[in-house]
Structure 1
Amino acid sequence: MIQIFCDFDGTITKSDNIIAIMKQFGPPETNVIKDQVLAQEISIREGVSRMFALLPSSLKEDIVNFVKETGIIRPGFPEFVQFTKEQCLDFYVISGGMDFFVHPMLDGLVERDHVYCNATDFSGTHIHVDWIHPCDGHCGNACGLCKPSLIRKLGKPGAMKILIGDSITDLQAAKLADKVFARDFLITKCEELGIPYTPFETFADVQQELAKLLEVAR
């Protein structure tokens, strides 16, 4: 059995929506916070909470429209999802992104109960992130949405676990995976830590490699 755990921002989408939102709507302080997260000086949970807390809730409609207009699905993704269904592979999206843009972009592609992301609250003066998938007792990294915890929760005994990702938010999950498909910053971290990985640019690349794995398994 193969289980696939896939990141959203910068992986399913061609660019990171949170970074794009902060560039478009955030004050200069968001750049400092982003750099601190990438350098692992502060946790992902703290960094993302602080960045969204700088954005007024009144911007909700503008932000949603911005993501709809600028968010682009990486080539080959719809075909890849169909491939996983045909091959009876468990496919989950585990995203550090926010519900207000993750779910609309994946509607019609991935069943909602297979999509895990953060919740957002716009009831106050500024945007508040609800971390509804926190770290379990085996993780103390304050991940925010904790990908390794979700892999432990959703993983089935004996299954081959595959991680597809691109960023620092995928690093801890990559350490648990049997196979890693990586791009961008995740490649840098995998090379630093000696984590084996397969690079990819489109989901056609991933599908091709998975097809080879399935042939070997047979």
Structure 2
Amino acid sequence: MRSIAVFCDFDGTVTETDNIIAIMKYFNPPGWIQLKDAILTQKISVREGVGLMFSLLPSSMKEEIIQFALHNAKIRAGFADFIDFLKQERIPLYIVSGGIDFFVHPILEPFVPIADIFCNGSDFSKESIEILWPHSCDSNCDHDCGCCKPSIIRALDGDELYKIVIGDSITDLQAAIQADFVLARDFLLEKCQEFDIPHRPFTSFYDCMKEIRTKLEVVR
């Protein structure tokens, strides 16, 4: 019998849209679009690009950005029921996010303990926002991820752990490659199909519940 654990992305997965992109679009600092495009085309790493994007914003805007994120973020349908389902089945949920603590934590506060959230940090003591990287890549990853999802999974993994990854983007791909099963949408869904990774598509967290129920019958 194997234990199941769920590793779930935040931006574009728990929330319906990417909060970093929403913040950048709204506050629109000069140069952010070029940095975003460089990340997506993998000309620069996620760590480098995200750090540079937030350095374009002054630290004095911290509260304004937090309030924007709280009002803008829309939680994907079924998330609260999904959490209740996992608690009932005694399945641990870890949020693994390339987002930043100062907006990830407030958005997730009603749902997930901070101890189960792995994301990037922030420093507002200087003139511009500085991003911190408490979950950098381990010796098995050289992608300069920023918040390295596969490294977090390896640190939490056990020999009998059945790993389910839920995500949507390029930042979830390396985690998906080492998962036993993936619930995917958007870019990640295309890559799961391309690389023949065991997966199912999802639209809401009710879809995720349905798929995990079927896995419980097989894994346990």
Q: TM-score range by the shorter chain?
A: over 0.9
| Contact 1:118 1:145 (C-alpha < 8 Å) held by counterparts | yes
The Cα of 1:26 is off from its aligned counterpart by 2.9
Question: How many residues were matched structurally?
Answer: 218
Amino acid at match of 2:140: H
* Cα distance in structure 2, aligned partners of 1:26 and 1:172: 30
With 144-153 and 33-42 compared, the bigger mean Cα shift is at 33-42
Amino acid at match of 2:79: F
The Cα of 1:28 is off from its aligned counterpart by 4.2
| TM-score using structure 2 length | 0.95
Instruction: Give the gaps of 5 or more residues in structure 1.
Output: none
The Cα of 1:37 is off from its aligned counterpart by 1.0
**2:75 aligned to 73, 76, 97, which one?**
73
1:24-39 maps to which residues of 2 (within 5 A)?
A: 24-39=26-41
**1:216 aligned to 204, 207, 218, which one?**
218
* Cα distance in structure 1, aligned partners of 2:53 and 2:194: 27
1:54-93 maps to which residues of 2 (within 5 A)?
A: 54-93=56-95
The Cα of 1:115 is off from its aligned counterpart by 0.8
**1:120 aligned to 101, 107, 122, which one?**
122
1:1-218 maps to which residues of 2 (within 5 A)?
A: 1-217=3-219
Instruction: Give the gaps of 5 or more residues in structure 2.
Output: none
SS at match of 1:123: coil
Amino acid at match of 1:73: I
| Contact 1:13 1:71 (C-alpha < 8 Å) held by counterparts | yes
Amino acid at match of 2:143: N
Amino acid at match of 2:175: A
Q: Write out per-residue CA displacement over residues 41-62 of structure 1, whole angstroms, 9 at most, x where no aligned residue.
A: 2111011011111111111111
* Cα distance in structure 1, aligned partners of 2:215 and 2:198: 16
SS at match of 1:51: helix
* Cα distance in structure 2, aligned partners of 1:39 and 1:195: 22
Amino acid at match of 1:41: K
Q: Write out per-residue CA displacement over residues 96-132 of structure 1, whole angstroms, 9 at most, x where no aligned residue.
A: 1111111111113112111111111111111100001
| Contact 2:145 2:171 (C-alpha < 8 Å) held by counterparts | yes
Amino acid at match of 1:114: D
* Cα distance in structure 1, aligned partners of 2:192 and 2:92: 24
Instruction: Tell me the C-alpha RMSD between the 2 structures.
Output: 1.2
With 180-189 and 8-17 compared, the bigger mean Cα shift is at 180-189
Amino acid at match of 2:153: I
- Relative to 1, partners in 2 of residues 1:17 and 1:203: Cα closer, same or farther, differing over 3 Å? same
Q: Write out per-residue CA displacement over residues 124-170 of structure 1, whole angstroms, 9 at most, x where no aligned residue.
A: 11110000111000001000000000000011211110100011111
* Cα distance in structure 1, aligned partners of 2:190 and 2:162: 24
The Cα of 1:72 is off from its aligned counterpart by 0.9
